Amino acid sequence: MTGDRQISVALPTIRRLPMYVGILEKAVQDGQVHVSSSHMAAALGLESIQVRKDLEAVGVAGQPRVGFPVAELVTAIERFLGWDNASDAFVLGAGHLGMALAGYRGFARYGLNIVALFDNDPCKIGQKVHGKEILDVARFADLAERLHVHIAILTVPAEAAAEAATLAAQAGIKALWNFTPTKLAPIEGMIVERVDLAASLAVLSSKLSSVLRPAHSEVPEEAA
Amino acid sequence: MTGDRQISVALPTIRRLPMYVGILEKAVQDGQVHVSSSHMAAALGLESIQVRKDLEAVGVAGQPRVGFPVAELVTAIERFLGWDNASDAFVLGAGHLGMALAGYRGFARYGLNIVALFDNDPCKIGQKVHGKEILDVARFADLAERLHVHIAILTVPAEAAAEAATLAAQAGIKALWNFTPTKLAPIEGMIVERVDLAASLAVLSSKLSSVLRPAHSEVPEEAA
DNA sequence: TAGATTGTTAATCGATTAACAATC
DNA sequence: TAGATTGTTAATCGATTAACAATC
């Protein structure tokens, strides 16, 4: 019953877990010790049954009539996500997006610590952004191994994505957060998660488009 | 049969459509006139049946023994997504991320044209990034209306997200692309799509974590 | 005890996948 | 015609939701 926990947890559940951390931290600040699934659900626009199902996955039991222990829940979720102790990460590609991510202070909360950026542009190498140095990509593998960095954030141009991913894998990177529009072929021994802006924009613009040009031919209905 | 097409299309399908555009454009360059569902599937790591189901949604029929007409397919998908004629957009919040997005040239392909950025920081107002001006947020509503801009990209700090979203709605913005970690309450008359970095990172780091600390207690199994 | 809330088991819903007839 | 590929109808799978017994 405990053995295959990580693997059997639904992906949508994992994606929702950070939201729980958010409202639970607020609850902690308010001095609440317990919080009910219906309270959390209301705060997040979900159903209480879904909250209970999600929390089942992280293995914290609630108390009937009382709710779930707030502090324990935060700890358990962060542990489940691997956010309990900060992981170092390298940014691969010091373009605008790479620099923006390197400067985002919110990652600290997610246990992500960006250590340095890497680029192949001699003009950029040696510069500092947000107190983090831009290093020569030639030094990537060596530094990743010596500093035991196993997370890389991929922000190179689309054309360079595949090559950069291979470099990362050879450098012993275990988890690659891919911000490029390139869908990479699976690489043995490396987990890849992509932030797919095109997919997100597709949802937005198709919805917008169906509002602006109201579908097709509901007209007869109205006319009749 | 044609009436409620937009509404009934599955969200996962919509999210996959941009990938098809990508490989179809490559096929066009290669001079291919038709392409089979199994070809597309192979290129994208999907099953051919899923490709056929997805393409059914955009309303382009294939020919048995021949495949799908490439050019027609691109046109139909772009039309479906509202990418057939470029839409202007404002960036709300000229921080690092806002500037990075304003400079991203890839959006042109998605029919998205970023016109200007807005901020409330007097030091930033008047500056230009990537040829686009940073304007006073006080002018946002007026300009959105006069220029008929109905897409906004939200890149303000988390604390300012709710207020900025309200401003956008009042300015007549119809579609808001939310890059902040704040989950906004639904706003009447405005479509909101969020790029949830925390959710994406949660997937990556939970997978990584289950690799680094290999689950729990499969051990007895191995020992026995 | 009474009653609110959890947690379990079953039902529903939606998306993916399979099977195969229709088609060119 | 023969055969590859589409498109339809049914089966499967997984996630969400509902119902309700267990619990404090």
Q: Is the pLDDT of residue A83 over 70?
A: yes
Best mutation target, A148, A200, A212, to test chain B (most B CBs within 10 A): A200
Residues 27-66 of A with CB under 7 A from strand D: 46-47, 49-50, 53, 63-66
Report the 10 Å Cβ neighbour count for B10: 11
Instruction: Give the mean model confidence (pLDDT) for residues A60-68.
Output: 96
CA distance B32 to B69: 9
DSSP secondary structure string, A57-115?
A: HHT---BTTTBEEHHHHHHHHHHHHT-SS-EEEEEE--SHHHHHHHT-GGGGGGTEEEE
Q: What is the amino acid identity at position B8?
A: S
pLDDT (tens digit, 0 to 9) for every residue of chain B, 224 residues total?
A: 333 344 589 999 999 999 999 999 999 999 999 999 999 999 999 999 999 999 999 999 999 999 999 999 999 999 999 999 999 999 999 999 999 999 999 999 999 999 999 999 999 999 999 999 999 999 999 999 999 999 999 999 999 999 999 999 999 999 999 999 999 999 999 999 999 999 999 999 999 999 988 765 444 433 33
pLDDT, residue A216, reads 53
Q: With contact defined as beta carbons under 8 Å apart, do B155 and B100 qualify?
A: no
Closest CA to B18 of B89, B106, B96: B106
Q: With contact defined as beta carbons under 8 Å apart, do A52 and A62 qualify?
A: yes
Instruction: State the maximum Cα–Cα separation within chain B, in Å, rounded to a whole number.
Output: 74
pLDDT digits (tens, 9 = 90+) for B174-208: 999 999 999 999 999 999 999 999 999 999 999 99
Q: Is the pLDDT of residue A143 over 90?
A: yes
**β-strand pairing of A87-92 with A151-154:** parallel
Encoded tokens for A172 = 């012993």
Average pLDDT in chain A: 92
Q: With contact defined as beta carbons under 8 Å apart, do A193 and A214 qualify?
A: no
CA distance A184 to A181: 9
Residue B111 at interface with chain A, using a CB cutoff of 8 Å: yes
pLDDT, residue B222, reads 37
CA distance A107 to B60: 43
pLDDT, residue A218, reads 42
Q: Please state whether A70 falls in left (phi above 0), alpha (psi between -120 and 50) or beta.
A: alpha
Write the CA distances from A211 to A65, A216, B144, B177, integer angstroms: 45, 11, 18, 16
Q: With contact defined as beta carbons under 8 Å apart, do A194 and A178 qualify?
A: yes
Gap from A44 CA to chain B (nearest CA, Å): 8
Residue A193: CA count within 13 A, CB half-sphere: 21
pLDDT digits (tens, 9 = 90+) for A14-37: 999 999 999 999 999 999 999 999
Q: Nearest residue (Cα to C1') for D3? A: B65
Q: Is the pLDDT of residue A190 over 80?
A: yes
Residues in contact with B179: Cβ distance below 8 Å, sequence separation at least 6, in sequence order: B97, B101, B153, B154, B155, B194, B195
Protein A223 CA to nucleic acid D7 C1', in Å?
33
- Would the CB atoms of B195 and A197 count as touching at under 8 Å? yes
Backbone angles phi, psi at A9, to 5 degrees: -70, 130
- Percentage of chain A exceeding pLDDT 70: 92
Encoded tokens for A180 = 């490029």
Asked if A72 CB < 7 A from strand C, the reply is no
Gap from A34 CA to chain B (nearest CA, Å): 23
Q: Please state whether B61 falls in left (phi above 0), alpha (psi between -120 and 50) or beta.
A: beta
| pTM for this model (two decimals) | 0.93
Instruction: Give the mean model confidence (pLDDT) for residues A217-222.
Output: 40
CA distance B99 to B107: 13
Q: Chain D bases under 7 Å from protein CB?
A: 3-8, 14-19, 22-24
pLDDT, residue A213, reads 81
- Would the CB atoms of B5 and A196 count as touching at under 8 Å? no
pLDDT, residue B115, reads 98
Which residues is A117 bridged to in the sheet?
Answer: A91, A134
pLDDT, residue B7, reads 57
For residues A212 and A110, the model is more confident at A110
Position A172 confidence tier, pLDDT thresholds 50, 70, 90: very high
Residue B86 at interface with chain A, using a CB cutoff of 8 Å: no
pLDDT, residue A128, reads 97
Candidate from B87, B158, B204 with C-beta closest to A191 = B204
Position A215 confidence tier, pLDDT thresholds 50, 70, 90: low
- Within chain B, residue ranges assigned H as helices are 5-8, 11-29, 37-44, 48-58, 70-81, 96-103, 140-146, 161-170, 197-212, 219-223
Q: Is the dihedral of CA B112, A99, A25, A61 positive or negative?
A: positive
SS3 of residue A49 by DSSP:
helix
Q: In a 10 Å sphere around its CB, with 0-12 CB exposed, 13-18 middle and 19+ buried, how is residue B166 labelled? A: middle
Residue A214 at interface with chain B, using a CB cutoff of 8 Å: no
pLDDT, residue B175, reads 98
**β-strand pairing of B128-129 with B132-136:** antiparallel
